[in-house]
Amino acid sequence: MAKLDYYAEVRVQRTPATIARGIDGCIGVVGGISSDSGEDTYAVLVNDETYMINESDLVPTGRVFAREDLYDGTSLKVPAERYDDDGTSSSDE
Protein backbone atom coordinates (compact mmCIF):
# COMPACT_ATOMS: atom_id res chain seq x y z
CA MET A 1 0.00 0.00 0.00
CA ALA A 2 1.21 3.53 -0.74
CA LYS A 3 1.97 5.70 2.25
CA LEU A 4 -1.03 7.49 3.65
CA ASP A 5 -0.98 11.27 3.76
CA TYR A 6 -1.43 13.33 6.89
CA TYR A 7 -5.13 14.13 7.37
CA ALA A 8 -6.23 11.29 5.06
CA GLU A 9 -9.56 9.73 5.94
CA VAL A 10 -9.25 5.96 6.51
CA ARG A 11 -11.49 3.02 7.33
CA VAL A 12 -10.22 0.69 10.06
CA GLN A 13 -10.19 -2.95 8.90
CA ARG A 14 -11.67 -5.78 10.95
CA THR A 15 -8.70 -7.54 12.58
CA PRO A 16 -8.24 -9.09 16.04
CA ALA A 17 -6.33 -5.97 17.18
CA THR A 18 -8.98 -3.50 16.00
CA ILE A 19 -11.87 -5.64 17.27
CA ALA A 20 -10.23 -5.73 20.72
CA ARG A 21 -10.07 -1.93 20.72
CA GLY A 22 -13.63 -1.59 19.46
CA ILE A 23 -12.64 0.43 16.39
CA ASP A 24 -13.09 -2.10 13.56
CA GLY A 25 -15.10 -0.61 10.72
CA CYS A 26 -14.75 2.94 12.06
CA ILE A 27 -13.72 5.94 9.98
CA GLY A 28 -10.73 7.97 11.20
CA VAL A 29 -8.21 10.59 10.14
CA VAL A 30 -4.41 10.19 10.03
CA GLY A 31 -2.71 12.60 12.41
CA GLY A 32 0.76 11.08 12.64
CA ILE A 33 3.09 8.57 11.02
CA SER A 34 5.76 6.34 12.58
CA SER A 35 8.25 4.55 10.34
CA ASP A 36 10.51 3.00 12.96
CA SER A 37 9.85 -0.64 12.07
CA GLY A 38 9.18 -2.62 8.89
CA GLU A 39 5.51 -1.64 8.71
CA ASP A 40 4.41 1.97 9.11
CA THR A 41 2.16 2.73 12.05
CA TYR A 42 -0.30 5.61 11.95
CA ALA A 43 -1.78 7.76 14.70
CA VAL A 44 -5.44 7.81 13.72
CA LEU A 45 -8.12 9.96 15.31
CA VAL A 46 -11.25 7.83 15.75
CA ASN A 47 -14.25 9.12 17.72
CA ASP A 48 -12.21 11.81 19.56
CA GLU A 49 -9.47 9.35 20.60
CA THR A 50 -6.13 8.65 18.92
CA TYR A 51 -4.99 5.08 18.27
CA MET A 52 -1.72 3.73 16.88
CA ILE A 53 -2.80 1.45 14.04
CA ASN A 54 -0.71 -0.68 11.68
CA GLU A 55 -0.74 0.29 8.02
CA SER A 56 -2.20 -3.09 7.02
CA ASP A 57 -5.25 -2.41 9.21
CA LEU A 58 -6.19 0.77 7.33
CA VAL A 59 -7.87 1.44 3.97
CA PRO A 60 -7.87 4.98 2.55
CA THR A 61 -11.27 6.36 1.53
CA GLY A 62 -9.70 8.77 -0.95
CA ARG A 63 -10.66 11.86 1.02
CA VAL A 64 -7.92 14.10 2.47
CA PHE A 65 -8.77 16.97 4.80
CA ALA A 66 -6.97 20.30 5.08
CA ARG A 67 -5.11 20.79 8.36
CA GLU A 68 -7.44 23.69 9.19
CA ASP A 69 -10.42 21.29 9.03
CA LEU A 70 -9.04 19.44 12.07
CA TYR A 71 -7.21 22.06 14.14
CA ASP A 72 -8.71 25.32 15.35
CA GLY A 73 -5.37 26.98 16.16
CA THR A 74 -5.56 26.73 19.94
CA SER A 75 -2.62 25.25 21.79
CA LEU A 76 -1.86 23.80 25.18
CA LYS A 77 1.18 24.75 27.26
CA VAL A 78 2.56 21.99 29.49
CA PRO A 79 5.53 22.54 31.80
CA ALA A 80 8.49 20.22 31.27
CA GLU A 81 9.11 17.60 33.96
CA ARG A 82 12.73 17.21 35.07
CA TYR A 83 14.14 13.82 36.06
CA ASP A 84 17.24 12.97 38.10
CA ASP A 85 19.78 10.39 36.93
CA ASP A 86 17.95 7.67 38.91
CA GLY A 87 14.74 8.32 36.94
CA THR A 88 12.81 10.04 39.71
CA SER A 89 11.09 13.33 39.14
CA SER A 90 12.72 16.38 40.71
CA SER A 91 9.33 17.15 42.25
CA ASP A 92 9.11 13.65 43.89
CA GLU A 93 9.66 13.77 47.62
Structural domains counted in the chain: 1
φ/ψ (deg, to 5) at 63: -95, 135
Domain assignment of residue 80, yes or no: no
Domain assignment of residue 3, yes or no: no
In order along its 93 residues, the chain shows pLDDT tens digits of 568 999 999 999 999 999 999 999 999 999 999 887 677 899 999 998 999 999 999 999 999 999 888 888 888 788 888 777 776 666 544
3-state secondary structure of 19: helix
Domain assignment of residue 54, yes or no: yes
Domain assignment of residue 1, yes or no: no
Q: What is the CATH number of the domain that holds 27?
A: 2.30.30
Domain assignment of residue 46, yes or no: yes
Q: Return the pLDDT at 91.
A: 57
Report the C-alpha gap between 49 and 18 in whole angstroms. 14
Domain that holds residue 24: 8-67
Domain assignment of residue 77, yes or no: no
DSSP letter for each residue of 21-46: HT-TT-EEEEEEEE-SSSS-EEEEEE
